[in-house]
Structures are given as C-alpha cells and as structure tokens.
Amino acid sequence: MKLTKGFRELVAEAESEINSLDTHSVDSKLQSGGSGLLLVDLRDVREVKREGKISGSIHIPRGMLEFWIDPESPYYRKEFDDAQEIILYCNKGWRSALAAQSLKRMGVENVSHMAGGMELWVKEIGRIEEN
C-alpha cells in the first residue's frame, strides 16, 4: 500500500491548526487549579495501567473522544458539562494533536494539546499518579 501522506505530515498539519502547550504551561494551569479545566489522557488503557497518568486527568480512549464529547451521542459523558478549557495528551503528542484538530473541527473553541506528551511530562515534570 502506498500512502500519499504519512502520519508525520498529518500531525504537522494538525499542529499548524491547533494550540500546543508545553509541559510547564500545562503544569502551571494544573497548579493554579483553574475551574473548568479538563485534562484528558487519550492513551490506551494498557498504557495508563503500565505508566500511570497525570494527576487530575481523566482517561478517555482516543477512539471514543468524539462520541464522549458530543451531547447528541448516546456515549456523552457529563465530565464535559462544565469544561471551559480542554487539554489533551497522549504518549508522544501525536494522537493528542490529531484529536485536538478533530475537536476544533467539531466547534470546540478552547482546546489544546500537550506537545511531547506523557514521555516529555515524565522527563520534565515527573509527577504522575500511579495505578
């Protein structure tokens, strides 16, 4: 199978359209305890079990995000009722970039992704919640 566009190009396109935050900016937002901030871990459940997650984040499998955020979906989750700002993260920042682009296309205005993902968070910040 020949692709005309690879994942790196898709991620680069997404990152040109969305807001990216570094780990220190995300940490600062978490430390300030802003109400309405929803930090979403998009990694696979096995990654979360194996590596833990950022404290205060909720886990939403990447494949369910668009269904869980849409009030018209039978899968809608009430966690989004009071969300004023959404920050997405995954392992490297690739899935979260694509997911942020998708939410932006759905009309979500205050959505960002954490560049570098969990790998960079662990290296630069280090605080995780064990499972």
> What are 21's strand-pairing partners?
114
For 19-124, CATH gives 3.40.250.10
In the DSSP assignment, the letter for residue 5 is: S
DSSP state of 80: G
Regions of the chain short of the pLDDT cut 70: 34, 131
Domain boundaries, the chain: 19-124
Which residues share a beta bridge with 88? 40, 113
Q: CB-based contacts of 123: which residues, under 8 Å, 6+ apart?
A: none
Residue type at position 20: S
Q: What b-and-e string marks burial along 69-106, b requiring 16 or more CB atoms within 10 Å of the CB?
A: beeeeeeebeebeeeebbbbbbbbbbbbbbbbbbbbee
pLDDT in tens, 3-39: 999 999 999 999 999 999 999 999 999 998 767 999 9
Q: Which pLDDT belongs to residue 129?
A: 80
Closest CA to 131 of 39, 49, 40: 49
Residue 127 confidence (pLDDT): 87
